[in-house]
Structure 1
Amino acid sequence: MITRFAGLTPTRSRAVAHDDLVFTVAVAPDPVSPSMYEQSVKALARIDESLALCGTDKSKILSAIVYIADMKRKAEMNRAWDEWVDTKNPPMRACIGVELEPPHIVEIVVTAVK
Structure 2
Amino acid sequence: MTKRIPGAVATRSRAVISNGIVTTVATSPNKSDSMYEQVQGALAAIDKNLADAGSSKANILTAICYCADMARKPELNKAWDEWVDTANIPMRAVLGVQLENKDLIEIIATATI
Deviation at 1:19, TM superposition (A): 1.7
Q: Give the whole-Å Cα distance in 2 for the aligned partners of 1:34 and 1:56.
A: 27
> What's the CA shift for 1:32?
1.8
Partner of 1:27: 27
Q: Contact between 2:31 and 2:101, CA under 8 Å: does it hold in 1? A: no
Return the alpha-carbon distance in structure 2 between the equivalents of residues 46 and 113 of structure 1: 17
The alignment's C-alpha RMSD in Å is 0.7
Alignment of 1:60-75 (within 5 A): 60-75=59-74
Q: 1:9, 1:66 → 2: CA distance?
A: 21
Aligned-residue sequence identity (percent) comes to 55
**Counterpart AA for 1:65:** I
5+ unaligned residues in a row in structure 2: which ranges?
none
**Unaligned 5+ residue runs, structure 1?**
none
Q: For the residues of structure 2 that align with 1:33 and 1:82, how far apart are their CA atoms?
A: 22
1:45-83 Cα distance to aligned partner (Å, 9 max, x none): 000000001101000000000000011100000000000
Rounded to whole Å, the distance in 2 between the matches of 1:91 and 1:70 is 23
| 1:113 aligns to 2:112 (yes or no) | yes
SS at match of 1:102: coil
**TM-score scaled by length of structure 2:** 0.98
State the number of aligned residues. 113
Could you list the runs of 4 or more consecutive aligned residues of structure 1 that deviate by over 3 angstroms after TM superposition? none
2:108 pairs with 1:92: no
Within 5 Å, which residues of 2 pair with 1:5-84? 5-29=5-29, 31-84=30-83
